[in-house]
Amino acid sequence: MFDFTIAGVVAPIFLLVFVGFTVGTVGGFIGVGGGYMVTPALIVFGFPGYMASGIDMTHIAGKGVVATVRHRQLGNIDWTMALSMVAGTMLGVELGVRLLVHFKNLGISSVVLLITSVIVMFGLFLYTQIETRRAHVKTEQMTRDGEAVGREIQTSSLPRFFQNIPFFPIVRCRTARVVVSMWVIVLVGIVTGVLAGFLGVGGGFIRVPALVYLVGASTHIAVGTDLVEIVFSGGYGALRHSIEGHVDMMAVLFMICGSMLGAQFGSIATSYVRGPAIRYILSYSLILATFGAALRLTYVLTGQSVEILALLAVMLTLGEMIFLCLFIVSLVWFAVRRKRGKVVPPWVPALVVS
Amino acid sequence: MAESSKARAAVKFCFWTLAAAVLIFIVARAYTNGQMAAWFYYEAKVDGYAVNARSIMHATKEAPAVLKVGPFAYVDGERAVPVRKGDRLPANATGVIGADVVKRGRRARLQADTLVVTIPWQIAEKSGFKFKDTFQHKGIETYAWGAVWNVLMTLGLGLTLGYMAEGFTDLLGIKLEKIRHFEGH
């Protein structure tokens, strides 16, 4: 147990390191900050809600740097794309925060925030799940036909539409092999930034699908590039929260130590899998988070009288982190077995690289 | 050749481990010697009474916390210091009970030269999650440069720990090559 004198809480160090580790693993693998998972966990450990948000956002900035260092080594970052998006992201986050303050003043921030979360996350889950399923089937077909299968298989036609928008300046993102109007990237930054600022999260779970389906980046590059954005948006959020007095640095320190280990594993795990595997994990994280938000929304709409709903929401959110970690571990385990020529389940070869 | 890359990896790992250890030491020392708390509980954001919120959080209507009001340099579970917006907070203060709260008299009230606190916490909610919200952190302003320091330390920790891990895998001889995104596998 450690006495966090600034937060005014006594909490076990092990749990903070563990949460940092699990969210670091998931974040390093699918390129999300994991704010929607960590904040509830910290509240369960006894941190006040505002402190939980501040500690979470600050740790996300640190974890973003850790994961960025590793993804840079793996060649998963397109710096042109990342830096083109930064200004849009920052502007979007600021607009999102102001929008949230507006709804707060109207006294309906919780309901609007939860409804938006449910709609956005469920919509993204549906699209990602359907598209990834199609990509999975296509990969299996190609494998059966004896064709060489690339690390990335996408079936969405949206990137072609956005890449054909002719507004000057057109940028060439060499690592992602994408040529697209800079305004498309900036717009993606603004829109995802608004949602991130409004929902109070890093925004990775919106930005990764947007980079894949709108800009046309491969999933691995979307993950690495998004983590660079998370460093900027997380750093900005951390500064705002620190100024407001929502950050206990010792809690952040313990969480970063855990997430350092997790982010290594999650980032390196991406080198074992194809793009659709990352998108599957992303979509499962989205649907689980949607269930959590839906339970909390029901709880708020029923006048906070059915306590079991709040309890279920907390359990689901905490269980989600462990479930996703185990899923990632199992994918790496199967990838290694396949490399060694051992038997793996039939759905595995289409998701991992040999 | 292999020897020199192993030596380079060892130097890289040692350098970044040392850098990370130095940063962790600086953060831990600033936390334990009270420097960070002094930046955190820097000045009053509102007019009111500076208190140590933690020491009064078990007060009830039946057993209220009775705090002596005066210009003390240090507050504890028996003292409160009147402050104006912008005043530096006394040592050990962790919150300010706003003058408006005292005026309403529901949670705290003035009684001669004492401040009587009866309801030191209430249930608040964040994104649908309930938590116990006390007077702690209320009515306080943090030191802006302390906030910048927090962010710089966080980013520095991320950078040093990230490179330390990279140095570690290099040292173990785990060769992580750039992913060939556009080739068949």
Q: What is the pLDDT of residues B79-118, one digit of tens each?
A: 889 999 999 999 889 889 988 888 888 888 888 888 888 8
Are the C-beta atoms of B104 and B48 separated by less than 8 Å?
Answer: no
Whether B59 and B30 have beta carbons less than 8 Å apart is answered as no
Residue A40, chain B, CB below 8 Å: the answer is yes
pLDDT over threshold 90, residue B15: yes
Provide the pLDDT confidence category of residue B129 given band limits of 50, 70 and 90. low
- pLDDT value, residue B22: 97
Average pLDDT of the residues in A76-97: 88
Arithmetic mean of pLDDT over chain A? 86
Residue B18 has pLDDT above 90, yes or no: yes
Nearest CA-CA distance, residue B90 and chain A, Å? 15
CA atoms A275, A116, A188, A268: torsion sign: negative
Residue B127: per-residue pLDDT = 59
Distance from CA of A253 to the nearest CA of B (A): 8
Burial A197-228 (b: 16+ CB within 10 A, else e): bbbbbbbbbbbbbbbbbbbbbbbbbbbbbbbb
Which band of pLDDT confidence, cut at 50, 70 and 90, is reported for residue A2? confident
Residue from A53, A64, A58 nearest B147 by CA:
A58
What's residue B185's pLDDT? 54
The whole-number pLDDT of residue A198 equals 78
Residue contact B185–A48, C-beta within 8 A = no
Pairwise CB contact (< 8 Å): B178 & A74 = yes
Q: Does A253 touch chain B (CB under 8 A)?
A: yes
Most distant pair of Cα atoms in chain A: their distance = 63
What sign does the dihedral A69-A41-A50-B60 (CA atoms) show?
Answer: negative
pLDDT at residue B1 above 60?
no
pLDDT at A296 over 80: no
SS3 A302: coil
Angle at which helix A79-106 crosses helix A219-244, to 10 degrees, equals 50
pLDDT digits (tens, 9 = 90+) for A129-163: 998 888 888 888 887 887 777 777 777 788 888 88
**A65 in contact with B at a CB cutoff of 8 Å?**
yes
How many residues are present in chain A?
A: 354
Q: Which residue of A has its CA nearest to B167?
A: A70
User: Can you say whether the dihedral through the CA atoms of A166, A167, A168, A169 is positive or negative?
Assistant: negative
Query: Which among A80-89, A172-181, A232-241, B10-19 has the top mean pLDDT?
Result: B10-19
Convert the pLDDT of each residue in A312-333 to its tens digit.
877 887 788 888 899 999 999 9
Taking the model in full, what pTM does it have? 0.85
Of A152, A244, A310, the CB nearest to B130: A310
Question: Helix crossing, A49-73 with A13-30: angle to 10°?
Answer: 50
Asked if A52's CB is within 8 angstroms of B154's CB, the reply is: no
DSSP secondary-structure letter at A6?
T
Q: Are A262 and A322 in contact (CB under 8 A)?
A: no
Alpha carbon distance A312, B116 (integer Å)? 39
The whole-number pLDDT of residue A185 equals 92
pLDDT of residue B2: 66
pLDDT for residue B184 = 60
Q: Burial of A168 by CB count in 10 Å (0-12 exposed, 13-18 middle, 19+ buried)?
A: exposed
Distance from CA of B62 to the nearest CA of A (A): 24
CB contacts of A220 in chain B (<8 Å) are 179, 181
- This model of the complex carries an ipTM of 0.84
Contacts of A245 in chain B (CB under 8 A): 40, 137, 140-142
Chain-chain contact of A39 with B133 (C-beta, under 8 angstroms): no
pLDDT exceeding 70 applies to what percent of chain A?
Answer: 99
Q: Which residue of A has its CA nearest to B156?
A: A62
User: Which pLDDT value is given to residue A187?
Assistant: 92
Chain A residues touching residue B37 (CB < 8 angstroms): 5-6
Main-chain phi, psi angles of A77, to 5 degrees: -115, 130
CA B155 to chain centre: 16
Distance CA B94, CA A5 (A): 9
> Once rounded to an integer, what is the mean pLDDT over residues B56-67?
86
What are the tens digits of pLDDT across the range B166-175?
Answer: 999 888 887 7
Cβ–Cβ < 8 Å for A59, A158 = no
State how far the Cα of B68 lies from the Cα of B56, in Å rounded to an integer. 13
Higher pLDDT, B182 or A16: A16
Residue A200's pLDDT is 67
More confident residue, A311 or A119: A119
Is residue A155 within a helix (H) or strand (E), and if so which, with residue range? none
Q: What are phi and psi of A173, to 5 degrees?
A: -95, 100
Q: How far is A176 from chain B (nearest CA, A)?
A: 9
CB A49 within 8 A of CB A296: no
Cross-chain residue pair B127–A39, CB shorter than 8 Å: yes
Residues of chain B neighbouring A64 (CB-CB closer than 8 A): 158
pLDDT tens for each residue of A57-79: 899 999 999 999 999 988 889 99
Q: How confident is the model at residue A307 (pLDDT cuts 50, 70, 90)?
A: confident
Q: Do A48 and B176 touch (CB under 8 A)?
A: no
> What share of chain A in percent tops pLDDT 90?
21
HEC states along chain B? CHHHHHHHHHHHHHHHHHHHHHHHHHHHHHHHCCHHHHHHCCEECCCEEEECHHHHCCCCCCCCEEEEECCCCECCCCEEEEECCCCECCECCCEEEEHHHHHHCCCEEEECCEEEECCCEEEEEECCEEEEEECCCCCEECCHHHHHHHHHHHHHHHHHHHHHHHHHHHHCCCCCCCCCCCCEC
Q: What distance in Å separates the CA atoms of residue B185 and residue B182, rounded to the nearest whole number?
A: 9
SS (H, E, C) B81-123: EEECCCCECCECCCEEEEHHHHHHCCCEEEECCEEEECCCEEE
Assign A130 to helix, strand or coil.
helix
